[in-house]
Structure 1
Amino acid sequence: MSAATDPCPCGSQKTLGECCGPFLDGESLPLTAEQLMRSRYCAYKLQKIEYLRETLWPKYQARFDHFGVSRWAAENHWTGLKVLSSEKGGTTDRQGTVLFEASYLSCGTLQVHREMSLFRKKSGRWYYVEGLAQDF
Protein backbone atom coordinates (compact mmCIF):
# COMPACT_ATOMS: atom_id res chain seq x y z
CA MET A 1 0.00 0.00 0.00
CA SER A 2 1.04 3.56 -0.58
CA ALA A 3 1.79 6.05 2.16
CA ALA A 4 0.16 9.47 2.30
CA THR A 5 3.49 11.06 1.34
CA ASP A 6 3.89 8.96 -1.84
CA PRO A 7 2.96 10.53 -5.18
CA CYS A 8 -0.73 10.12 -5.93
CA PRO A 9 -1.22 7.35 -8.53
CA CYS A 10 -3.69 9.55 -10.44
CA GLY A 11 -0.84 11.64 -11.85
CA SER A 12 -1.87 14.93 -10.25
CA GLN A 13 1.71 15.72 -9.09
CA LYS A 14 0.38 15.88 -5.51
CA THR A 15 0.94 13.39 -2.73
CA LEU A 16 -1.65 10.71 -2.07
CA GLY A 17 -2.49 12.48 1.20
CA GLU A 18 -3.09 15.79 -0.61
CA CYS A 19 -5.08 14.28 -3.44
CA CYS A 20 -7.06 11.03 -3.59
CA GLY A 21 -6.10 9.52 -0.23
CA PRO A 22 -8.74 11.38 1.82
CA PHE A 23 -11.44 10.18 -0.61
CA LEU A 24 -10.24 6.57 -0.47
CA ASP A 25 -10.10 6.70 3.34
CA GLY A 26 -13.61 8.19 3.63
CA GLU A 27 -12.36 11.44 5.17
CA SER A 28 -13.87 13.62 2.44
CA LEU A 29 -15.87 13.38 -0.78
CA PRO A 30 -14.71 14.33 -4.29
CA LEU A 31 -16.05 17.76 -5.25
CA THR A 32 -15.96 17.15 -9.01
CA ALA A 33 -16.54 14.30 -11.44
CA GLU A 34 -12.87 14.38 -12.41
CA GLN A 35 -11.78 14.03 -8.78
CA LEU A 36 -14.03 11.00 -8.45
CA MET A 37 -12.67 9.48 -11.66
CA ARG A 38 -9.07 10.01 -10.50
CA SER A 39 -9.82 8.50 -7.10
CA ARG A 40 -11.48 5.48 -8.71
CA TYR A 41 -8.33 4.89 -10.77
CA CYS A 42 -6.35 5.01 -7.52
CA ALA A 43 -8.80 2.54 -5.99
CA TYR A 44 -8.05 0.07 -8.79
CA LYS A 45 -4.30 0.56 -8.40
CA LEU A 46 -4.37 0.34 -4.60
CA GLN A 47 -7.06 -2.37 -4.60
CA LYS A 48 -9.57 -0.38 -2.55
CA ILE A 49 -12.42 -2.38 -4.04
CA GLU A 50 -15.11 -1.33 -1.55
CA TYR A 51 -14.52 2.30 -2.61
CA LEU A 52 -15.35 1.29 -6.19
CA ARG A 53 -18.66 -0.18 -5.02
CA GLU A 54 -19.49 2.81 -2.81
CA THR A 55 -18.87 5.30 -5.63
CA LEU A 56 -20.96 3.34 -8.15
CA TRP A 57 -24.40 4.77 -8.93
CA PRO A 58 -26.64 3.47 -6.09
CA LYS A 59 -29.00 1.38 -8.21
CA TYR A 60 -26.02 -0.62 -9.55
CA GLN A 61 -24.32 -1.27 -6.21
CA ALA A 62 -26.28 -4.46 -5.42
CA ARG A 63 -24.97 -6.10 -8.62
CA PHE A 64 -21.34 -5.08 -8.02
CA ASP A 65 -19.06 -8.10 -8.54
CA HIS A 66 -16.61 -7.58 -5.67
CA PHE A 67 -14.66 -10.77 -6.39
CA GLY A 68 -14.41 -10.16 -10.16
CA VAL A 69 -13.35 -6.54 -9.79
CA SER A 70 -10.87 -7.44 -7.07
CA ARG A 71 -9.32 -10.16 -9.22
CA TRP A 72 -9.09 -7.90 -12.29
CA ALA A 73 -7.52 -5.06 -10.27
CA ALA A 74 -4.95 -7.43 -8.73
CA GLU A 75 -4.05 -9.19 -11.98
CA ASN A 76 -3.04 -5.97 -13.71
CA HIS A 77 -0.17 -3.60 -12.98
CA TRP A 78 -1.56 -0.08 -13.30
CA THR A 79 1.03 2.24 -14.89
CA GLY A 80 -0.62 5.59 -15.49
CA LEU A 81 -3.65 7.78 -15.99
CA LYS A 82 -4.22 10.56 -18.50
CA VAL A 83 -7.30 12.75 -18.32
CA LEU A 84 -7.98 13.81 -21.90
CA SER A 85 -11.04 15.98 -21.37
CA SER A 86 -13.94 16.64 -19.09
CA GLU A 87 -17.28 18.28 -19.67
CA LYS A 88 -19.31 19.72 -16.83
CA GLY A 89 -18.94 17.74 -13.62
CA GLY A 90 -18.03 20.80 -11.54
CA THR A 91 -19.09 21.65 -8.03
CA THR A 92 -22.41 23.15 -9.15
CA ASP A 93 -23.23 20.56 -11.83
CA ARG A 94 -25.36 17.46 -11.39
CA GLN A 95 -23.79 15.49 -14.23
CA GLY A 96 -20.49 15.36 -16.06
CA THR A 97 -18.30 13.28 -18.33
CA VAL A 98 -14.58 12.53 -18.23
CA LEU A 99 -12.56 11.05 -21.10
CA PHE A 100 -9.46 9.26 -19.87
CA GLU A 101 -6.82 6.68 -20.69
CA ALA A 102 -5.64 4.22 -18.06
CA SER A 103 -2.50 2.25 -18.87
CA TYR A 104 -1.73 -1.13 -17.37
CA LEU A 105 0.40 -4.20 -17.90
CA SER A 106 -1.54 -7.40 -18.47
CA CYS A 107 0.31 -10.66 -19.05
CA GLY A 108 3.45 -8.67 -19.88
CA THR A 109 1.76 -6.49 -22.49
CA LEU A 110 1.07 -2.78 -22.10
CA GLN A 111 -2.65 -2.09 -22.54
CA VAL A 112 -4.49 1.22 -22.70
CA HIS A 113 -8.13 1.47 -21.67
CA ARG A 114 -9.75 4.62 -23.09
CA GLU A 115 -13.17 5.45 -21.72
CA MET A 116 -15.77 8.20 -21.68
CA SER A 117 -17.26 7.98 -18.20
CA LEU A 118 -20.58 9.42 -17.09
CA PHE A 119 -20.90 10.73 -13.53
CA ARG A 120 -23.95 12.00 -11.67
CA LYS A 121 -24.38 13.79 -8.39
CA LYS A 122 -27.03 12.66 -5.92
CA SER A 123 -27.56 14.25 -2.50
CA GLY A 124 -24.33 16.22 -2.90
CA ARG A 125 -22.18 13.19 -3.74
CA TRP A 126 -20.65 12.22 -7.10
CA TYR A 127 -21.13 8.68 -8.44
CA TYR A 128 -19.82 6.75 -11.44
CA VAL A 129 -22.78 5.75 -13.63
CA GLU A 130 -21.30 4.08 -16.70
CA GLY A 131 -18.44 4.10 -19.11
CA LEU A 132 -18.20 3.72 -22.85
CA ALA A 133 -14.91 2.34 -24.18
CA GLN A 134 -13.49 4.58 -26.90
CA ASP A 135 -11.58 3.59 -30.02
CA PHE A 136 -8.33 5.37 -30.73
Structure 2
Amino acid sequence: MSSSTELCPCGSKKSYDECCQPLLAGEKRADTPEQLMRSRFTAFYRGDAWKYILATWHPENRPAISEAELTEESRLAKWEKLEVRDTRIDGEQGEVTFCAWYRDQTGLHPHLERSQFVRYDGEWVYTTGEFLPYTRAAKVKPNDQCPCGSGKKYKKCCG
Protein backbone atom coordinates (compact mmCIF):
# COMPACT_ATOMS: atom_id res chain seq x y z
CA MET A 1 0.00 0.00 0.00
CA SER A 2 2.01 2.95 -1.21
CA SER A 3 0.17 4.44 -4.15
CA SER A 4 -0.80 8.04 -3.51
CA THR A 5 -4.14 7.39 -5.23
CA GLU A 6 -5.10 4.42 -3.04
CA LEU A 7 -7.73 5.35 -0.47
CA CYS A 8 -6.77 5.08 3.17
CA PRO A 9 -8.32 2.06 4.95
CA CYS A 10 -9.49 4.32 7.80
CA GLY A 11 -12.44 5.51 5.72
CA SER A 12 -11.45 9.19 5.62
CA LYS A 13 -11.85 9.26 1.81
CA LYS A 14 -8.31 10.67 1.58
CA SER A 15 -5.40 8.89 -0.04
CA TYR A 16 -3.31 6.69 2.25
CA ASP A 17 -0.25 8.90 1.58
CA GLU A 18 -2.16 12.02 2.68
CA CYS A 19 -3.87 10.41 5.64
CA CYS A 20 -2.45 7.67 7.89
CA GLN A 21 0.84 6.82 6.17
CA PRO A 22 2.78 9.82 7.61
CA LEU A 23 1.55 8.95 11.11
CA LEU A 24 2.46 5.27 10.86
CA ALA A 25 5.87 6.22 9.43
CA GLY A 26 6.51 8.56 12.38
CA GLU A 27 6.72 11.62 10.10
CA LYS A 28 3.72 13.32 11.70
CA ARG A 29 1.73 13.23 14.95
CA ALA A 30 -2.05 13.02 15.22
CA ASP A 31 -3.74 16.41 15.58
CA THR A 32 -6.94 14.98 17.10
CA PRO A 33 -8.12 11.87 18.94
CA GLU A 34 -10.12 10.87 15.85
CA GLN A 35 -7.04 11.10 13.63
CA LEU A 36 -5.10 8.95 16.11
CA MET A 37 -7.92 6.40 16.30
CA ARG A 38 -8.15 6.22 12.50
CA SER A 39 -4.40 5.69 12.22
CA ARG A 40 -4.51 2.96 14.88
CA PHE A 41 -7.29 1.22 12.92
CA THR A 42 -5.11 1.44 9.81
CA ALA A 43 -2.23 -0.15 11.73
CA PHE A 44 -4.51 -3.04 12.72
CA TYR A 45 -5.84 -3.24 9.13
CA ARG A 46 -2.30 -3.49 7.74
CA GLY A 47 -1.24 -5.97 10.41
CA ASP A 48 2.37 -4.79 10.39
CA ALA A 49 2.52 -1.55 12.37
CA TRP A 50 2.66 -2.89 15.92
CA LYS A 51 5.37 -0.48 17.04
CA TYR A 52 2.93 2.31 16.21
CA ILE A 53 0.09 0.67 18.17
CA LEU A 54 2.31 0.29 21.23
CA ALA A 55 3.87 3.77 20.87
CA THR A 56 0.45 5.47 20.75
CA TRP A 57 -0.82 3.66 23.87
CA HIS A 58 -0.48 5.59 27.15
CA PRO A 59 2.41 3.99 29.08
CA GLU A 60 0.30 3.55 32.22
CA ASN A 61 -2.36 1.60 30.28
CA ARG A 62 -0.21 -0.21 27.73
CA PRO A 63 -0.57 -3.98 28.05
CA ALA A 64 2.49 -6.15 28.49
CA ILE A 65 2.32 -7.59 24.99
CA SER A 66 5.06 -7.95 22.43
CA GLU A 67 5.02 -7.17 18.73
CA ALA A 68 5.29 -10.91 18.08
CA GLU A 69 2.17 -11.57 20.17
CA LEU A 70 0.29 -8.81 18.35
CA THR A 71 1.35 -10.30 15.02
CA GLU A 72 0.10 -13.73 16.07
CA GLU A 73 -3.23 -12.32 17.31
CA SER A 74 -3.67 -10.40 14.06
CA ARG A 75 -3.69 -13.63 12.09
CA LEU A 76 -6.99 -14.55 13.75
CA ALA A 77 -8.92 -11.57 12.37
CA LYS A 78 -8.85 -9.34 9.29
CA TRP A 79 -9.99 -5.77 9.93
CA GLU A 80 -12.14 -4.54 7.04
CA LYS A 81 -14.00 -1.29 7.68
CA LEU A 82 -14.18 1.61 10.13
CA GLU A 83 -17.20 3.79 10.93
CA VAL A 84 -16.63 6.76 13.26
CA ARG A 85 -19.85 7.41 15.14
CA ASP A 86 -18.95 10.26 17.52
CA THR A 87 -15.94 12.39 18.47
CA ARG A 88 -15.55 14.69 21.48
CA ILE A 89 -12.64 16.81 22.66
CA ASP A 90 -12.51 18.57 26.02
CA GLY A 91 -9.16 20.27 26.46
CA GLU A 92 -6.54 17.58 26.97
CA GLN A 93 -9.02 14.68 26.84
CA GLY A 94 -10.86 13.14 23.92
CA GLU A 95 -13.34 10.40 23.18
CA VAL A 96 -14.11 8.57 19.94
CA THR A 97 -16.97 6.11 19.47
CA PHE A 98 -16.54 3.83 16.49
CA CYS A 99 -17.51 0.54 14.93
CA ALA A 100 -14.74 -1.48 13.32
CA TRP A 101 -15.73 -4.52 11.27
CA TYR A 102 -13.52 -7.58 11.27
CA ARG A 103 -13.69 -11.02 9.71
CA ASP A 104 -12.56 -14.26 11.31
CA GLN A 105 -13.16 -17.92 10.50
CA THR A 106 -16.79 -17.62 11.67
CA GLY A 107 -17.74 -14.56 9.59
CA LEU A 108 -18.03 -10.78 9.77
CA HIS A 109 -18.34 -9.12 13.19
CA PRO A 110 -18.72 -5.57 14.54
CA HIS A 111 -16.41 -4.21 17.25
CA LEU A 112 -18.18 -1.21 18.80
CA GLU A 113 -16.04 0.81 21.20
CA ARG A 114 -15.92 4.14 23.01
CA SER A 115 -12.20 4.98 23.25
CA GLN A 116 -10.58 7.48 25.60
CA PHE A 117 -7.57 9.59 24.64
CA VAL A 118 -5.41 12.12 26.50
CA ARG A 119 -2.56 14.42 25.64
CA TYR A 120 0.64 12.96 27.05
CA ASP A 121 3.92 14.82 26.54
CA GLY A 122 2.10 17.00 24.01
CA GLU A 123 0.78 14.12 21.89
CA TRP A 124 -2.57 12.36 21.73
CA VAL A 125 -2.41 8.78 23.06
CA TYR A 126 -4.97 6.02 23.56
CA THR A 127 -5.77 5.20 27.19
CA THR A 128 -8.74 2.84 27.43
CA GLY A 129 -11.74 1.62 25.53
CA GLU A 130 -15.20 0.53 26.60
CA PHE A 131 -16.76 -2.18 24.46
CA LEU A 132 -20.38 -1.41 23.63
CA PRO A 133 -23.17 -3.78 22.61
CA TYR A 134 -23.90 -3.74 18.91
CA THR A 135 -27.50 -3.85 17.84
CA ARG A 136 -28.58 -3.86 14.24
CA ALA A 137 -31.70 -1.82 13.55
CA ALA A 138 -33.08 -4.31 11.07
CA LYS A 139 -32.13 -7.74 9.83
CA VAL A 140 -30.03 -7.65 6.67
CA LYS A 141 -31.92 -9.15 3.74
CA PRO A 142 -30.13 -11.16 1.03
CA ASN A 143 -30.44 -8.39 -1.60
CA ASP A 144 -29.45 -5.55 0.78
CA GLN A 145 -26.02 -3.98 0.51
CA CYS A 146 -23.57 -5.86 2.74
CA PRO A 147 -22.79 -4.04 6.03
CA CYS A 148 -19.07 -4.77 5.58
CA GLY A 149 -18.92 -1.95 3.02
CA SER A 150 -17.84 -4.07 0.05
CA GLY A 151 -20.61 -2.66 -2.14
CA LYS A 152 -21.84 -6.17 -2.93
CA LYS A 153 -25.19 -7.68 -2.07
CA TYR A 154 -25.23 -9.39 1.32
CA LYS A 155 -26.01 -12.80 -0.23
CA LYS A 156 -22.94 -12.54 -2.52
CA CYS A 157 -20.63 -11.36 0.24
CA CYS A 158 -21.02 -12.15 3.95
CA GLY A 159 -24.48 -13.77 3.91
- Coordinate RMSD, CA, aligned: 1.5
> Cα offset for 1:74?
2.9
Q: Does 1:66 align with 2:67?
A: yes
> Cα offset for 1:59?
2.2
Q: Is the 8 A contact 1:96 1:118 kept in 2?
A: yes
Structure 1 distance, partners of 2:85, 2:74, is 22
> Any gaps of 5 or more consecutive residues in structure 2?
135-159
Q: Which residue of 1 aligns with 2:2?
A: 3
Q: Which residue of 1 aligns with 2:133?
A: 135
Q: Which residue of 2 aligns with 1:50?
A: 51
Q: Does 1:35 align with 2:29?
A: no
Structure 2 distance, partners of 1:18, 1:74, is 27
> Any gaps of 5 or more consecutive residues in structure 1?
none
1:101-134 deviations in whole A, cap 9, x for unaligned?
A: 0001110400110000000101210100011100
| Sequence identity (%) | 33
Q: CA separation of 1:54/1:4 partners in 2, compared to 1, >3 Å: closer, same or farther?
A: farther
> Cα offset for 1:66?
2.6
Q: Which residue of 1 aligns with 2:94?
A: 96
Count of paired positions: 132
Structure 1 distance, partners of 2:74, 2:124, is 22
Higher strand proportion, which one? 1
Structure 2 distance, partners of 1:4, 1:28, is 19
Structure 2 distance, partners of 1:129, 1:112, is 21
**TM-score, normalised to structure 2's length?**
0.78
Higher helix proportion, which one? 1
Corresponding letter in the other structure for 1:38: R
Q: Which has the higher contact order (CA 8 A, sep 6+)?
A: 1
1:65-106 deviations in whole A, cap 9, x for unaligned?
A: 4333222223322110000001116xxx21111000000111
Structure 2 distance, partners of 1:116, 1:86, is 9
Q: Is the 8 A contact 1:4 1:21 kept in 2?
A: no
> Cα offset for 1:62?
6.7
Which of structures 1 and 2 has the bigger CA Rg? 2
Structure 1 distance, partners of 2:115, 2:63, is 20
